[in-house]
Structure 1
Amino acid sequence: MDWVYLILAGLFEMSGVGMINQWNQKRSARAMLLLVGSFAISFAFLALAMMTLPMGTAYAVWTGIGASGGALLGMIFYGEARDAKRILFIAMVLVSAVGLKFVS
């Protein structure tokens, strides 16, 4: 269950990053509420995951999901560059996170 919590934490981190972009584009109470809510839920799930997973592993996977997910959101929804090098390095972050699962 700890890895499920960690993945959920990463997905809400990704959502929070997307909401930062929304907040920068349109400053509304809804955007701020979603931003704060996403990060709060993310931290809550991260705390649950860290009850059994090592801190270094949990944090690395959490930030990896958030960073690569944020980059993918930027490419899909905000027209950011989609060149092969960028996709390769995002894939390397995800492979590293999966690798940590196998050694933990």
Structure 2
Amino acid sequence: MNWMILFVAGLFEIAWAVGLKYSEGFTRFWPSVATVLSLVVSFLLLGLAMKSLPVGTAYAVWVGIGAVGTAVLGIVLFNESTEMLKLVSLGLICAGIVGLKLAHA
């Protein structure tokens, strides 16, 4: 269950990271509110997951989910580059996340 909580925390990390772009430096009210709420939920869920998961593993997985998800949404929503090195690097982060999960089992 804690891995699912950690995964959801990572999804909220993606939401607040992308929300930062939409808030335009916190100058737009509703995107700013959604960003801050997503950040709070993400941190609360991360803290909850860390009750039983090792801190290093939980944090690395949380950051990895956020980094990969944010980069993918940057490509989809903001037409960011899809250079091969970028895609391979994102794949390596995903491999690291899977490796950390398997190492914990």
* Range of TM-score over shorter length: over 0.9
Structure-1 residue corresponding to 2:92: 92
Percent identity between matched residues is 37
Q: CA deviation at 1:25?
A: 7.3
In structure 2, list runs of 5 or more residues that go unmatched.
Answer: none
Q: CA deviation at 1:85?
A: 1.1
For residues 54 and 64 of structure 1, the distance between their equivalents in structure 2, rounded to whole angstroms, comes to 15
| Alignment: residue pair count | 104
Once the two structures are superposed, the pairs formed by residues 37-56 of structure 1 within 5 Å of their partners are 37-56=37-56
What is the TM-score with the length of structure 1 in the denominator?
0.96
Q: Deviations 1:14-58 (Å, cap 9, x if unpaired)?
A: 010000010127832101100000110100110111000000000
Which portions of structure 1, spanning 4 or more consecutive aligned residues, are displaced by more than 3 angstroms?
none
For residues 25 and 62 of structure 2, the distance between their equivalents in structure 1, rounded to whole angstroms, comes to 26
Structure-2 residue corresponding to 1:69: 69
Superposition CA RMSD, Å? 1.2
What is the TM-score with the length of structure 2 in the denominator?
0.95
For residues 87 and 66 of structure 1, the distance between their equivalents in structure 2, rounded to whole angstroms, comes to 15
Q: Give the secondary-structure state (helix, strand or coil) at the position aligned to 2:51.
A: coil
